[in-house]
Amino acid sequence: MSLLDMKLDRSFDVFDSDRDGRVERSDVLAVSDQLAESQGLAPDAVAELRGSLAELWDAVFQKMDRDDDGAVDRQEFRAAFRARIVTDQNRIWDRIRNLSNAWTEIGDRDGDGMLSRDEYTSLLHGMFRLPRQAFDDSFTALDRDGDGRLSRDEISSAMKEYYTSQDHAARGNQFFGRL
């Protein structure tokens, strides 16, 4: 299995909220609900993130559904994401940047516009239900300037690198925890 397939599978698993091997609109939107619950927030507090996720479903995921069954399976996800990266880079990165900005705003409890280690690990643990330790290790790799905080640019760059880099040592590969 290629490095990109490993990363796409990890990403697929993140969005498959009910773990049934298919990503449906409800799975994608559930990411915001999981975050609200984990952070003790009212659903209204994650409305912007929920909107970004709905846009991501409508503009990206729904088009991945090649057999038109209302869900995206792992193979559809891999094939479609590879094709989108090649043909639609600017639009997909704009959507990913909007998504990362929305959840960064939610996780930024001290309002400094950046995520501390604790804010980052809490946010990702809450959204993706993966162990906090995985994200603690990731934080160190993603904090490119070593200032103990992740800027929106560092986060967006890491996400882009996660989905495009074929380099096993690329920092962004750890965005969803160590591979």
DSSP 8-state assignment for residue 44? G
- For 47, the token pair is 């409305």
Give how far the C-alpha of residue 25 lies from the chain's centroid of Cα atoms, to the nearest Å.
15
Q: Rounded CA gap, 105 and 126, in Å?
A: 14
- For the entire predicted model, the pTM comes to 0.78
pLDDT at residue 179, rounded to an integer = 77
**Predicted pLDDT at 83:** 81
Mean predicted confidence (pLDDT) in 44-57: 86
Does residue 112 have a pLDDT over 70? yes
CATH level 2 (architecture), domain 3-174: Orthogonal Bundle (1.10)
Tokens at 164, concatenated: 């495009």
**Rounded average pLDDT over 100-121:** 89
**pLDDT-based confidence at residue 23 (cuts at 50, 70, 90):** very high
